Amino acid sequence: MAIDTWLTRTLGIEFPIVGAPMGGRAGGRLTGEVSKAGGIGLLGAARYATPEWVATEVATARGIGGDTFGIGLMTWALDDDDSLLSATLEQRPRVVSLSFGDPAPYVSRVHDSGALVMSQINTLEDLRVVEAAGVDVVVAQGGEAGGHTGRIATLPLLQEVLEATTLPVLAAGGIATGRGLAAVLAAGAEGALVGTALLASPETAGPDYARDRVVAAGSADTVYTSVFDQARSQAWPARWGGRALTNDFTSMWHGRDATESELAQAYDPADPNLGVVYAGEAAGVVRSSRPAGDVIREIGERADGLLGRFR
């Protein structure tokens, strides 16, 4: 029996799994493979993406997984330049993720295109903001998640959000196996975003060393920090740090007073000891490089089997 949730019914997908829109990692190949496997992949259109990049990567995703895909945007960056939203809507995605900021100025444009609006939230205050904006589904993203996230752990945040809203709720942060998916579905979530579980997959964009480091990492080998944003002059709002794998750079600079110039001089994206690999605490269960489709199907099928014991 397939898992039946609001997410699978609304999008016509097999598994209630969303491939997280990881900037610099979730390109067209990964997005397409997640969708082909029965979930829905979200392209990670980071701030440095261009309309041309969006079009190229969407074409790749469509060629692999068809028209069931989404695109993730950083709302705070749209406030200065919304050209990426226009480029996104031209591609007719099923879902647009507007996260990290107030999506109110953009929701109607997404709805007019026929897409659903998803927003990741990190606090109950965030929930009230996106509810007022009229989004269709929220993602309770816990601090275990890789990349930019909040400070409240997934399970406490998910419970708070489920009790506080009538909107469909997905969970994110620390979910990398069928057990994790089954747990959040049993709690009342309609699905889950999966990111770290896919970081070692060959379809994931980025340097090879990033995949190797995720495989080698344990669950305790991450740090919540802003030093990589400062080193790269990434103007993220101060309330959101990023969870990354620890390395020599974080050992040297995290928690120290340093100028952006000092951090920029020390940072080297080509060196695994001095570059950034954003990954969540679920890195400890990623033990090999496996095709993204295999990862998605295993998570979905295992969750289905576990939940079947209670049907």
Does residue 226 share a domain with residue 198?
A: no
DSSP string, 114-155: T-EEEEEESSHHHHHHHHHHT-SEEEEE-TTSSEEE-SS-HH
pLDDT at 48: 82
The number of residues making up the chain comes to: 311
Does residue 137 share a domain with residue 49?
A: yes
Instruction: Provide φ and ψ at 126, rounded to 5°.
Output: -60, -40
Does residue 63 share a domain with residue 19?
A: yes
Looking at the domain assignment, is residue 271 inside a domain? no
pLDDT profile of the chain (311 residues), mean per 10? 90 98 97 98 91 97 98 95 96 98 98 98 98 98 98 98 98 98 98 98 96 97 97 93 98 95 96 97 97 98 90 66
Domain count, the chain: 2
Q: What is the CATH number of the domain that holds 173?
A: 3.20.20.70
Does residue 249 share a domain with residue 143?
A: no
Partnered with residue 18 across adjacent β-strands are 40, 193
Instruction: Provide φ and ψ at 145, rounded to 5°.
Output: -65, 150
pLDDT at 311: 66
Show the domain range for 59: 6-205+286-308
pLDDT at 1: 52
Q: Judge if pTM exceeds 0.85.
A: yes
pLDDT at 46: 82
